[in-house]
């Protein structure tokens, strides 16, 4: 899959799961004006982003695409979880011939709101212009699975199928690449004789992903989120702001009932003159969950570590968050992955290890949210200093208890 879009954020549900009505007929030339932001954010933040989007639409109508793109970018920076903002950015980028960015922005919109057929259309159109016809056709089909009678997608599908057929006719001696990529055949052969997972009771409904697929999806998603966080961080630094680029206005009302950390889930200025431990940012290698617990909020050395999806980060430069008096003290020295996946911030949701791809197979796809958190931690705290052992064998972990997720979602 290309640069996964995976929302940005993430984003996960509050942005991704916005319930929309049936889309109007697609026109790739008109930015989205009617899309309302996801519920659960700060009203003033969403209103400010909407105001910027409207201003961007005015520039767009005057064919002032560079100006429109700048305003849409500011709107996304203000509130990242409105799919229509990213969709408008995509259209502007395509007008400016920034085709890779156009595809990425549409992919983000698609992840924020999987029911938005305009996101599928604009992503497929950008990929078509990049001569990535097989990938574009795949996205087109996904869009038609969402809205089978959409005329624009139907026509684009016909055009793409024609282009692919013409390319094959021009090179009859070549074997067309598999839509799943060249690594799949080798993986299939390896799987044939591979030992069965220890979770023998689980039966995959949509095909078991290979290790290459798992790593490829994760890497593409994290890379995409990282670039977006770095872009926003540069803007914040240019504005001489010490505040984190992380926004926490993305939780839905139902989710907020599960967020219990007093003083957490708000922007916090980075403290000055932190007394860092001597081994700050030094590699720790491969740790077990028990070994990681030695770096909790109470450790005398004041070196604070935590894990996100198997990546261990040194957060010692934020004692205001992770020391014994910080709002996240109970999470220090633990793996946060399951809590981020489920949208619950209590210690009971730490150090729980499940195969997240099995949740995805069961229809609870929140991997984008987890990967957005992973990218954010890397943006805030630098490269991981170690790895957490259970995640090296994720495929052998059991399927997660989906009853713990309910309607919660993680977004970033």
- pLDDT tens sequence across 278-318: 999 999 999 999 999 999 999 999 999 999 999 999 999 99
Residues of the chain with CATH 3.10.120.10: 212-404
State pTM to two decimals: 0.49
**Residue whose token pair is 């109508």:** 61
Mean of the per-residue pLDDT values of the chain: 77
Q: How far is CA 109 from CA 4, 38, 123, 134, in A?
A: 11, 12, 9, 21
Question: Which residues are within 8 A (CB) of 281 and not within 5 positions of it... i.e. 6 or more apart?
Answer: 314, 382, 385
Q: Is the pLDDT of residue 117 over 60?
A: yes
Q: Residue 412 is encoded by which pair of tokens?
A: 């970033």
240 burial (CB, 10 Å; 0-12 / 13-18 / 19+) is exposed
Residues of the chain with CATH 1.25.40.10: 13-170
Q: Is the pLDDT of residue 147 over 60?
A: yes
HSE-CB of 387 using CA atoms within 13 angstroms: 7
Higher model confidence: residue 183 or residue 160?
Answer: 160
pLDDT-derived band at 22 (thresholds 50, 70, 90) equals: very low
Distance CA 279, CA 407 (A): 41
**CATH for the stretch 13-170:** 1.25.40.10
For position 405, what pLDDT does the model report? 64
Q: CA angle 200-205-209, nearest 5°?
A: 75
For position 168, what pLDDT does the model report? 67
Which helix (H) or strand (E) covers residue 286, if one does?
strand 285-287
For 222-245, what is the mean pLDDT? 70
Distance CA 140, CA 121 (A): 7
HSE-CB of 342 using CA atoms within 13 angstroms: 25
User: What is the CATH architecture assignment of 212-404?
Assistant: Roll (3.10)
Percentage with pLDDT > 70 across the chain = 71
φ, ψ (nearest 5 deg) of residue 306: -150, 165
Q: Is the pLDDT of residue 336 over 60?
A: yes
Q: How far is CA 227 from CA 55, 160, 224, 300, in A?
A: 25, 30, 5, 36
Q: Of 40-49, 97-106, 400-409, where does the model show the most confidence?
A: 97-106
């Amino acid at each position: 899959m290309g640069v996964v879009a995976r929302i940005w954020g993430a984003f996960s549900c509050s942005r991704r799961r916005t319930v929309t009505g049936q889309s109007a007929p697609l026109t790739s030339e008109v930015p989205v004006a009617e899309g309302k932001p996801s519920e659960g954010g700060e009203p003033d933040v969403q209103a400010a982003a909407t105001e910027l989007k409207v201003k961007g639409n005015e520039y767009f109508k005057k064919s002032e695409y560079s100006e429109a793109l700048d305003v849409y970018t500011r709107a996304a920076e203000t509130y990242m979880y409105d799919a229509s903002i990213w969709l408008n950015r995509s259209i502007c980028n395509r007008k400016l011939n920034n085709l890779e960015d156009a595809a990425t922005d549409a992919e983000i919109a698609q992840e924020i709101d999987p029911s938005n057929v305009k996101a599928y259309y604009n992503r497929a159109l950008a990929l078509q212009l990049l001569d990535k016809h097989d990938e574009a056709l795949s996205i087109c089909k996904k869009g038609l699975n969402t809205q089978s009678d959409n005329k624009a997608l139907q026509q684009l599908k016909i055009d793409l199928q024609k282009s692919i057929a013409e390319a094959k006719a021009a090179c009859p001696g070549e074997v067309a690449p598999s839509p799943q990529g060249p690594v799949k055949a080798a993986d299939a052969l390896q799987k044939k004789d591979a030992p069965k997972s220890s979770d023998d009771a689980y039966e995959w409904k949509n095909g078991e992903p290979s290790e290459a697929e798992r790593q490829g999806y994760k890497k593409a998603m994290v890379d995409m989120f990282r670039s977006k966080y770095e872009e926003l961080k540069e803007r914040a630094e240019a504005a001489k702001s010490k505040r984190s680029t992380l926004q926490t206005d993305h939780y839905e009302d139902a989710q907020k009932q599960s967020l219990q950390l007093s003083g957490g889930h708000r922007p916090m200025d980075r403290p000055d003159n932190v007394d860092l431990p001597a081994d700050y940012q030094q590699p720790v290698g491969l740790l077990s969950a028990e070994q990681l617990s030695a770096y909790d909020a109470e450790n005398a050395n004041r070196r604070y570590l935590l894990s996100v999806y198997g990546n261990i980060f040194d957060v010692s430069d934020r004692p205001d968050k992770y020391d014994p008096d910080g709002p996240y003290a109970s999470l220090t020295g633990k793996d946060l992955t399951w809590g981020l996946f489920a949208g619950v911030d209590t210690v009971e949701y730490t150090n729980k290890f499940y195969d997240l791809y099995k949740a995805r197979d069961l229809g609870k796809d929140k991997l984008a949210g987890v990967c957005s958190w992973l990218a954010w931690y890397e943006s805030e705290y630098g490269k991981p200093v170690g790895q957490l052992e259970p995640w090296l064998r994720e495929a052998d972990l059991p399927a997660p208890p989906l009853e713990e997720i309910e309607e919660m979602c993680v977004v970033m």
